[in-house]
């Protein structure tokens, strides 16, 4: 059943169902971005750049909003998913994008399954593969339920809130230099050295399938049309800010440790932060965060990849759950019986680096085509914002080529 906004939509006063959907789409997008790599990436860059990394976080959030708000608005105005809009710009482009996103999503889901297994190992001492299998069963259980989408919304919201609370606690215990971080938020040391971290953060937050996670969730709820733009603005920006808050909390927690002269473990940098701040129990508490990050990413990756795959053929359009379950099963089997294919992950990361500039560029073109958006007038400042994000993500794609060059020794 399609949901309708209340008559007070312009004041952002929504019905109970819309408040649930808002939170669901926000946390689906945010937790899709917050996986095991997110935790490690933030810890490593903070140890390298200390308080100046605050500037990179701020700038990446601004660019992320530019990408997210453009995509969400155009998709909801048209009522079409990203690949469907792409096919209207260039026939077959959407199909190519769907396949690339599915390959990348599958590869990264193998890493997410592995991360969840490591989390359960840290908490309960379970074998990593047993933990991974439990994660797969839990994720599949969510989608086979009759209220699968509501449960997905609830679970991702709970996992997101859990991560925020736990990391905030660690941050306060770490007692970071807040004044120094605030100063370097706008006046970083050696700002040019932060170019690569900024590009990496943008790619990790809105790259590949992630930027479409919340928007496709909203479309699946029957919401489309210009009248929903106030709702979409709030949801898109809230999703990015939620991710930004979590990254900021983790950054401050790590900063509080590294400024004391502690060297983070090269094997597991974020875990060493938790252990330094909380003692031996820190390993188990980090396991909770790692499991929450990985589990929520498994859900987000599988669901969003399915929303791309289901449009490939009419026979599978209404079989989202079957696609999701198959997606989780395949990624789990690969991890359980083959292990984590590092080569595949690197190649998928490189491919994902090219997906966002293509998809966002396509959306920006579509925003000015009346045959696609009708009488909707896309704001010029959003268009310029989006162009900036495209430029940054093209740079990310070029950097990703270096990974492939190193991989194949060329």
178-223 pLDDT, tens digit per residue, is: 999 999 999 999 888 888 888 878 877 777 788 898 899 999 888 8
One DSSP character per residue, 299-351 reads: HHHHHHHHHHHGGG-GGGTT-HHHHHHHHHHHHHHHHHHT---HHHHHHHHHH
What is the pLDDT confidence band of residue 8, given thresholds at 50, 70 and 90?
very low
What per-residue confidence (pLDDT) applies to 343? Answer: 54
262-315 pLDDT per residue, tens: 899 888 889 999 999 999 999 999 999 999 999 999 999 999 999 999 988 888
Has residue 226 got a pLDDT over 50? yes
Question: What's the mean pLDDT in 108-132?
Answer: 91
Has residue 410 got a pLDDT over 60? no
Q: Which of 12-16, 147-151, 250-254 has the lowest mean pLDDT?
A: 12-16
User: What are the two backbone dihedrals, phi and then psi, of residue 208, each rounded to the nearest 5 degrees?
Assistant: 55, -130
58 is written with which tokens?
């701020």
Nearest-10 Cα torsion for 317, 322, 328, 329: -140
What per-residue confidence (pLDDT) applies to 40? Answer: 87
- Cite the DSSP H helix spans in 50-81: 53-78
Question: What's the mean pLDDT in 134-138?
Answer: 95
What per-residue confidence (pLDDT) applies to 32? Answer: 84
What per-residue confidence (pLDDT) applies to 5? Answer: 43
Q: Which of 17-21, 242-246, 342-346 has the lowest mean pLDDT?
A: 342-346
Q: pTM score > 0.75 for this model?
A: yes
Q: How far is CA 383 from CA 10, 116, 119, 229, in A?
A: 22, 38, 41, 16
Q: Residue 86 and residue 404: Cα distance in Å, rounded?
A: 27
Between 37 and 187, the more confident residue is: 187
Q: How far is CA 256 from CA 21, 175, 241, 360, in A?
A: 36, 6, 22, 37
Question: What's the mean pLDDT in 12-20?
Answer: 64
In the chain, % of residues over pLDDT 90: 50
What is the pLDDT confidence band of residue 167, given thresholds at 50, 70 and 90?
very high
What is the pLDDT confidence band of residue 401, given thresholds at 50, 70 and 90?
low
What per-residue confidence (pLDDT) applies to 349? Answer: 58
Q: How far is CA 116 from CA 123, 135, 160, 205, in A?
A: 11, 7, 15, 19
């Amino acid at each position: 059943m399609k949901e309708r906004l209340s008559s007070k939509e312009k004041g952002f006063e929504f019905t109970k169902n819309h408040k649930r959907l808002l939170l669901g789409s926000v946390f689906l997008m945010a937790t899709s971005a917050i996986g095991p790599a997110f935790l490690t990436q933030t810890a490593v860059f903070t140890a390298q750049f200390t308080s100046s990394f605050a500037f990179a976080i701020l700038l990446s959030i601004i660019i992320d909003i530019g990408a997210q708000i453009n995509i969400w608005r155009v998709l909801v105005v048209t009522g079409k998913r990203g690949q469907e809009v792409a096919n209207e710009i260039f026939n077959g482009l959407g199909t190519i994008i769907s396949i690339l996103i599915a390959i990348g999503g599958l590869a990264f889901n193998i890493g997410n399954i592995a991360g969840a297994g490591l989390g359960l190992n840290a908490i309960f001492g379970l074998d990593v593969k047993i933990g991974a299998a439990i994660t797969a069963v839990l994720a599949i259980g969510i989608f086979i339920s009759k209220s699968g989408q509501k449960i997905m919304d609830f679970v991702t919201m709970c996992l997101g809130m859990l991560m925020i609370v736990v990391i905030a606690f660690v941050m306060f215990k770490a007692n970071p230099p807040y004044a120094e971080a605030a100063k370097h938020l706008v006046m970083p040391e050696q700002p040019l050295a932060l170019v690569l971290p900024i590009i990496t953060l943008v790619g990790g937050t809105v790259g590949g399938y992630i930027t479409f996670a919340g928007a496709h969730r909203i479309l699946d709820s029957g919401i489309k049309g210009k009248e929903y733009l106030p709702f979409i603005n709030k949801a898109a920006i809230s999703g990015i800010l939620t991710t930004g808050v979590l990254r900021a909390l983790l950054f401050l927690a790590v900063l509080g440790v590294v400024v004391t002269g502690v060297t983070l473990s090269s094997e597991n940098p974020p875990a060493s932060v938790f252990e330094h701040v909380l003692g031996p129990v820190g390993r188990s508490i980090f396991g909770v965060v790692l499991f929450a990050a990985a589990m929520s990413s498994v859900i987000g990756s599988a669901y969003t990849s399915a929303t791309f795959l289901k449009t490939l053929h009419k026979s599978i359009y209404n079989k989202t759950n079957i696609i999701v379950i198959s997606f989780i099963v395949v990624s789990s089997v690969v991890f359980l019986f083959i292990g984590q294919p590092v080569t595949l992950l690197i190649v998928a990361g490189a491919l994902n680096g090219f997906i966002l500039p293509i998809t966002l560029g396509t959306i920006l073109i579509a925003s000015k085509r009346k045959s696609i958006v009708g009488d909707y007038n896309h704001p010029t400042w959003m268009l310029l914002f989006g162009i900036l994000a495209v430029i940054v993500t093209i740079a990310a794609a070029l950097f990703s080529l270096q990974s492939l060059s190193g991989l194949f020794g060329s």
